[in-house]
Amino acid sequence: MADTPSRLNIGSHDLPVSAELSRFMAADWAATPLPDAARVPAYAVTPARRTRLSARFPGERLIVPAGELKVRSNDCDHRFRPHSAYAWLTGLTGEDQVGHVLVLEPSGPHGHEAVLYLRPRSPRADGNEEFYRDRRYGEFWVGRRPDLAEAERLTGLRCAHLDSLGSPVGRNAATDPELAAALSELRLVKDAWEVEQLQLAVDHTAAGFEDVVRALPRALAHPRGERWIEGVFGLRARAEGNGTGYDTIAASGAHACVLHWIRNDGRLDRDELLLLDAGVETDTLYTADITRTVPLSGRFSPVQRQVYELVLAAQEAGMAALRPGASFRDFHRAGMRVIAEGLAEWGVLKHAEGDLHRRYTLCSSGHMLGLDVHDCAKARARTYLDGVLEEGQVLTVEPGLYLQPDDETLPAELRGIGVRIEDDLVITAKGARLMSGALPRTVAGIEEWMGTLMAG
C-alpha cells in the first residue's frame, strides 16, 4: 500500500506540493462523464419505498445517513458498506457513499421531497487538490464519484452538496428508535425485485458451496483447512458479488458446536463433519444465508447420520409450518418438538416436555433475510417475532444440534458433534418456496453430491 498523508497531517509521509506541481496537476484532463443511461439497479422501485416511509411520518423531517468510515488500524479503514435503510431508499450501494445523507423534507400537507446530500466529484481546477491528495475521498485514491447532475440521473433524486446540509435536525434513523423500527418493518415484506436479488444471492452461494466441496482434498491437506475453505468461498463471493454477507463459519469437528465460529483456524479430519455457514452478498447488498453440514470423508458414519437425520426431520417440520397467517414462531416450535422427541428417544432426555432440549439447540431456528443477514432486526416484536407471516417475506429455517465435547449428559459417541441445516425460503400464497433447493439436504443426496464433485 502506498504511503498516505495522515488525517491530521502529523508525521505525514506525503511530500509538500509545489506551486508548479499544483498548476500542472490542475491542467489537461479529458472529460470522463458517466454514461447517460446509467441508473442504480433499484431505480424503478425506490420511489414507492420512500412514499411508504413518508406516509408513516407526515410533516416530519426524516434523516437517513449512509454511515461513516470506521478505523481498522491506525490510518486504514474497514471496507465501507452503506447502512441498509439508506441503500433500500436510494438504491446506492457503493463504497463511495461514505458520509452521504438522504433527507425527506416535508412537502405539502402529507408528503415529502427526498433530497440526497452527497460529496460530489472533486473539481480538478482552481487549486483543488482533493482528487489526488485526499486518501479517503480523492478520486485517485478511492475511485470516481459522480457529480451532482450524474447522481440525479443515477437515482432520480434531487441531489445537493453535503456541505449545504447544515445541522441535520429531525428524526435520524441512526438515533431515533421509532424511525429505525419503521424502516425495519417496511422491509419485512420483499417486493418482486428484492426476491430476485435474494435468489441471485442464493444461486451464487450454492456455487460457492460446490467450490468448497471440490476444494476439500486440498483443504484436508492444509494445517488450517478451515481457513482454506473460508478462502475458497470468499473468492466466489467477491467474484460474483460484493463479498460475503457475514463472516463465514467454517467449523470442523467440535468447532461446529460453537454457534458463531469464525476463527476458522482448525485442521480438518476426514472422520469428522464440517459445518459451513456462508452467504454471498450481491452487488445490490442482498445476502443469502445457507448452512450445510457434510462428512469430510464424503460419507456419514452411523452416529453422524443419526444426528444429521434428526436435525433434517426438524427442518422438514419447520418448513411445513410456513404459510401466510402462521405465527412467525410456529416453525421454530415445530422443529423443536421433533428435536425434543428425538433426544428423548435417544435417552438423552427423560421426556420431551419442557425446554431442557435447549441445552443442545441453544438458539432460535431462523430469522428474516434481506439486505441484512438478520434482516429487519429493529422491527417491533408484535410485527416480527410475535407477528404472523406474510406473502413475500424471506426467511431462514435452520435448526441445529450442538453436542458439546465436554457435556457429560451425553454418551461419549455423541460428544463433539455439531449439525445445522439452513435454507432460505420465500413465503408464497399457499406456503413457502425453497430458494436454496439446488443444494442437497438428505444424507444420500449429500453423499452422492460430494462423490461427484470430489471425483471431478
With a cut of 60, say whether residue 9 has pLDDT above it: no
How high is the pLDDT of residue 51? 97
Residue 391, all three cell numbers: 406473502
pLDDT in tens, 395-442: 999 999 999 999 999 999 999 999 999 999 999 999 999 999 999 999
How high is the pLDDT of residue 126? 81
Cα 126 from Cα 123, distance rounded (Å):
8
How high is the pLDDT of residue 12? 58
H helix runs in 104-224, sequence order:
130-133, 139-142, 148-155, 177-186, 192-220
With a cut of 80, say whether residue 8 has pLDDT above it: no
pTM of the model: 0.94
pLDDT in tens, 351-395: 999 999 999 999 999 999 999 999 999 999 999 999 999 999 999
Residue 165 Cα to chain centre, angstroms: 30
- Counting residues of the chain whose pLDDT is more than 90, the rounded percentage is 90
**Residue 230 CB neighbour total at 10 angstroms:** 23
pLDDT in tens, 251-271: 999 999 999 999 999 999 999
Cα 396 from Cα 373, distance rounded (Å):
10
How high is the pLDDT of residue 234? 98
DSSP 3-state assignment of 352?
A: coil
More confident of the two residues 341 and 167? 341
